Amino acid sequence: MQILMNAGGIAATNCYLIADETAGKAVLFDAPNDTTAPLLAEAKKRGWDLIGLWLTHGHFDHVADHARVTAQFPHAQVLIHALDEPKLIQPGSQFFPLPFVIPSRRADGYVADGQVLQIGSLAVHAIHTPGHSPGHVMYHLPQEQVLVGGDLIIMGAVGRTDLPDSDERHLYASIRKIMQLPPQTRLLPGHGQASTLADEMQSNPYVIEAMQ
């Protein structure tokens, strides 16, 4: 397995390229504005077939580059939880006008809690973790002990819950659900630096509060 990442866009959002290099298959997780190009170029350079853009949720800073991804890899399937597809259909910010236009589109398919996806030989388990957004999903690679986390737990904090369709109670329940995974699981968040679930359990006050 290979994991490449880049961060950028107006919200300093992370995106990840995860590949089974033996099978030559890869998936991009999230697509911040003006951030995916280096990862797409690297996939082409290494001869990887990008089979999907798998979204953690539909907020603009995670979906903005979707058209750039599918322009270069037309067969890449754009997947999202059904509850967040409306944000793909009507993309944008709920708080301020964006300095760019995000094209509207429907998803190619939906991910649901417990669904197992494949990147070559890599098994990827979708975990529905609402709170920050109703259709927020995390992607767990159990054999590799990796969790693509989106905006549930980020930078020693958690995703904001003051949005019109966010819910603090659901977010705390999602944290408790995720903390059932092995503590050594490496968390790749939507913003900030990677950590482990054990690190977050020890130092993240929101996680500590959720688990009490």
Q: Does 125 have pLDDT greater than 90?
A: yes
Q: Provide the β-strand partners of residue 158.
A: 153
pTM for the whole thing? 0.97
Please give the distance of CA 62 from its chain centroid, rounded to a whole number. Answer: 7
Q: Which domain, by its residues, includes 9?
A: 2-211
Q: Quick one: average pLDDT of 142-149?
A: 98
- At 3-22, the pLDDT tens digits run 999 999 999 999 999 999 99
Q: Does 99 have pLDDT greater than 90?
A: no
Which letter, b or e, does each residue of 110-143 get, where b requires 16 or more Cβ atoms within 10 Å of its Cβ?
Answer: bbeeebebebbebebbbbbbbbbbbbbbbbbbee
CA 204/CA 13 separation, integer angstroms: 20
Question: Domains in the chain: how many in total?
Answer: 1
Q: How many CB atoms lie within 10 A of CB 73?
A: 20
**Which parts of the chain fold into alpha helices (H)?**
37-45, 60-63, 66-72, 85-89, 168-178, 197-203, 205-211
Please give the distance of CA 81 from its chain centroid, rounded to a whole number. Answer: 11
What CATH number did the domain enclosing 176 receive? 3.60.15.10
